[in-house]
Amino acid sequence: MSINLGRLELFMGPEQLGAPDDLLDVIVSFIDGSRQSLDVAVQELESRPIADALIRARQRGVSVRVVLEGDYLSVRRALADPWSEGGTNETNRQIHDALQRAKIEVKTDFNPDIFHQKFIIRDKVSADAAILTGSTNFTPTGVASNLNHILIAKSKRVAREYSNEFREILDGTFGSNQSRRFSPPRVYCVAGVPVKILFAPDHSPEMEIMKQMLKAKKSVDFAMFTFSRSSGIDDTLIALARSGIKVRGILDGSQGKQQWAPTKDIKDAGAEMHLCPHKAGLNKLHHKLAVIDGEVLVVGSFNFTGPANRLNDENILVIGDLDDDKARSKQMQLGSYALDEIDRMINEHGEPV
């Protein structure tokens, strides 16, 4: 059910919560399609089917490398018997060990803050190179009970940009450990649509998102897990709403009620705001998604917070932003697919603020 432009594909899930796409199948199929290499940078790997797909890839001769957030491999409290199984994050540790026993290279991040990446690079030196990214963690909740998105871009040049980031992750020269001069974000044409790639904290994605929103002529729609006043994006949306731009958002029900969230501020400026409550089957609204004028998309792992911009390791893609009739048609197809899911989430799960 995804929107497929050939070399650019957008998925909204999960099916279990009424969305059109099966996120677990998307990730497993992407991994199963590998022939040469897989580089995986993900905050958490708790899904056995995804781990099994990585092991299958290694067993058929694919080079597989994985970087994980170290916090999900530890326990909150020391066990009385450290040799016994159990404790917090035990499944993550079991998967970590199984990957190593399959001769997969597994490393943990060097970032003392949050390693928040969610991407895979497939067959990076091949003409069929591709990346998978989005808001989806590789966990049972991420693919089945959290509202999320995935984007696949089939482009050797895009894969090269993500490969450069992966190399920096392995070197530990990112986050608060930056020790290099980085190049500005680059834009590549994929399926006739411009795709701009940004990594945090290198490229300060907050400024790019604010810039794109300030270009809005009609509307800004968004679905966001964590949105705090520590981000300047709230001020941008308040200014847009006051100027007559239609601003509409849906936030995770728990996060959006926090004192530090700008939910009421944005609503009081004239925006339409909704909360998505946690309920049976629905754990979190976990998107990091914005649609500007129905045709420019912001997707990826980046929450609208100050720490995401300054401290965490993140990636975002800005898709669209080209004033060309042929490109606009494709951009609007992507935008329409994302807006349909925002509409559905508001209608089926949202509560007005």
> Could you read off the pLDDT of 92-108 as tens digits, one per residue?
889 999 999 999 999 88
pLDDT for position 179: 47
If DSSP codes are grouped into helix, strand and coil, which group holds residue 224? strand
pLDDT exceeds 80 at position 118? yes
pLDDT exceeds 70 at position 309? yes
* CATH superfamily of domain region 3-177: Endonuclease Chain A (3.30.870.10)
Domain ranges of the chain: 3-177, 187-352
How far, CA to CA in Å, does 352 sit from each of 15, 122, 348? 24, 41, 12
Residues forming beta bridges with residue 132, ordered by sequence position: 120, 152
Residue 240 tokens read as: 């847009």
> Could you read off the pLDDT of 134-192 as tens digits, one per residue?
999 999 999 999 999 999 999 999 999 999 999 988 887 654 445 445 678 899 999 99
> Could you read off the pLDDT of 234-259 as tens digits, one per residue?
999 999 999 999 999 999 999 999 99
Please report which residue ranges of 79-223 form alpha helices under DSSP H: 90-101, 140-144, 156-171, 205-214
CB 175 within 8 A of CB 112: yes
Please report which residue ranges of 124-194 form alpha helices under DSSP H: 140-144, 156-171
Specify the pTM: 0.93
Closest CA to 138 of 38, 24, 52, 283: 24
CB 260 within 8 A of CB 232: no
Handedness of CA 237, 242, 248, 251 (dihedral sign): positive
b (16+ CB within 10 A) / e for 132-152? bbbbbbbbbbbbbbbbbbbbb
pLDDT: which is higher, 223 or 171: 223
Give me the architecture of the 187-352 domain, per CATH: 2-Layer Sandwich (3.30)
pLDDT: which is higher, 112 or 67: 67
183 secondary structure, DSSP code? P
Instruction: Give the residue-averaged pLDDT of 300-321.
Output: 88
**At which residue do the structure tokens 């994605």 appear?**
205
Q: What is the mean pLDDT of the chain?
A: 92
> Could you read off the pLDDT of 16-57 as tens digits, one per residue?
999 999 999 999 999 999 999 999 999 899 999 999 999 999
> Could you read off the pLDDT of 259-282 as tens digits, one per residue?
999 999 999 999 999 999 999 899
Chain center to CA of 106: 21
pLDDT exceeds 80 at position 110? no
Indicate if 187-352 has the same CATH topology as 3-177. yes
Closest CA to 285 of 298, 271, 274, 296: 274
pLDDT above 90: percentage of residues in the chain: 76
d(CA 41, CA 86): 25
Query: What is the end-to-end Cα distance of the chain in Å, rounded?
Result: 31
pLDDT for position 336: 97
